[in-house]
Amino acid sequence: MAGNVKNMGLTSLDDLFKSEQERQQDTHERILNIPIGEIHPYARQPYSIERPTPDLVRLMDSIEQVGVAEPLIVRPRTEGGYDKVGNVVDTIVSDYNGRAVSKLLPLGRYTIREVQAPDYYSINPTILTAYLDYEGQIVTFEVEDNSVSTGVSIKKTGYAEVMPNQPIRYTITGIGNTSTVPLSSFYWRDTLPGQVRLSKVVTGTYNQQLSYKIVYKTNLKDSYQTLADSLSTTKNYVLEASPAALGLASNERVTEIMFVFGTVKGGFGQVETAYIHGNVVGGLANGSSMVNVADVGGVYNGQWIQAVSRWVTKVYAKTITTLPKTGY
């Protein structure tokens, strides 16, 4: 009598004589000596290297000469041999309800980590480990992302009035990353009015230990020039920046000066006040005004987060009146 042949899933003789402890150990990691020829690249690996970088070439040469200090993790293949572990085997995307399901995976250990969070949420850094010990097993995790707020701040003040050919000082306070997340390419910048010639910079200090640099532009050079580099955020510097100190031409002036910090954590902020010193040029009309602009910014998730502060200073000049001659 003919009938359908079914896979009954009979236990092998070797398994019949194994203890429960031995069967449990078979589902977990063990240290084995495996011939290199039995280890294969994972067939569904989505990433490949078309052109190795110099760093990767050096790593390959080092492994070839001295080997590796850590054991290689592999997974048995149904067709024989072993797959290298550590490859991306699946990428899952949550739906509108926040649920995500992987495809069917072979038994083994898997590491799960979040690589992209929804808009206005930060990536959860927790690394999860899933053990698939038996067929049909379902492993579930719940991952929560924290909401993100972004913001930066700066405040610019200065003299309300000034006379031609007199010194002027601008005060910069409140510089900070008010975000709950780090910002990359963080900076603050002061754009000087054309009526002012830069003379000195007082850097102020900041609440996170970083190294930063200060650059400037002039009306004759489009690219940034370095005023000072490898500065410490915890030290307050006084930097000479007059035309003579910078070696500027007679018709050249500094148009902007920028502090470049790189990546700063959320809560980065100013401790001691920063000052921009300069001199007002002569020949300005009485009642005229000049505008100084300071801005701050950083990048989060590919978008610039910026803020601007302006200060207007009025010019007053002495009015010389010629009186009529008197006497005989």
* CATH number for the domain harbouring residue 165: 2.60.40.740
Tokens of 287: 């009642």
Q: Does residue 65 form part of some domain?
A: no
Contact 257, 198 (CB under 8 A): yes
Q: Where are the alpha helices (DSSP H) in the chain?
A: 13-16, 20-26, 54-66, 243-246
Angle at 259 between CA 254 and CA 262, to 5 degrees: 145
The 8-class DSSP code of residue 147 comes to B
The 8-class DSSP code of residue 300 comes to E
Name the residue range of residue 234's domain: 152-315
Q: Does residue 12 form part of some domain?
A: no
Q: Which residue has the tokens 């000087």?
A: 192
299 Cβ contact list (under 8 Å, min separation 6):
183, 184, 185, 305
- Give me Rg for the CA atoms of the chain: 34
Contact 272, 255 (CB under 8 A): no
Q: Does residue 247 form part of some domain?
A: yes
Q: Does residue 112 form part of some domain?
A: no
Q: Does residue 321 form part of some domain?
A: no
Give the N- to C-terminal CA distance of the chain in Å, as an integer. 150
Contact 190, 274 (CB under 8 A): no
Distance, in Å, from the CA atom of 228 to the CA atom of 251, rounded to the nearest integer, reads 23
Q: Does residue 193 form part of some domain?
A: yes
Residue 3 has what pLDDT?
Answer: 42
Instruction: Output the CA torsion sign for 318, 319, 325, 327.
Output: negative
CA dihedral 10, 15, 17, 23 (to 10 degrees): -130
Count of beta carbons in the 10 Å neighbourhood of residue 256: 17
Distance, in Å, from the CA atom of 225 to the CA atom of 258, rounded to the nearest integer, reads 10
> How many domains, in total, are found in the chain?
1
Q: What's the chain's length in residues?
A: 328
Q: Does residue 185 form part of some domain?
A: yes
Query: Mean pLDDT per segment of 10 residues, for the chain of length 328 residues?
Result: 42 49 57 68 53 61 63 67 70 85 85 81 84 88 86 96 95 96 95 96 97 96 94 97 96 97 96 97 92 96 93 85 70
Q: Does residue 253 form part of some domain?
A: yes
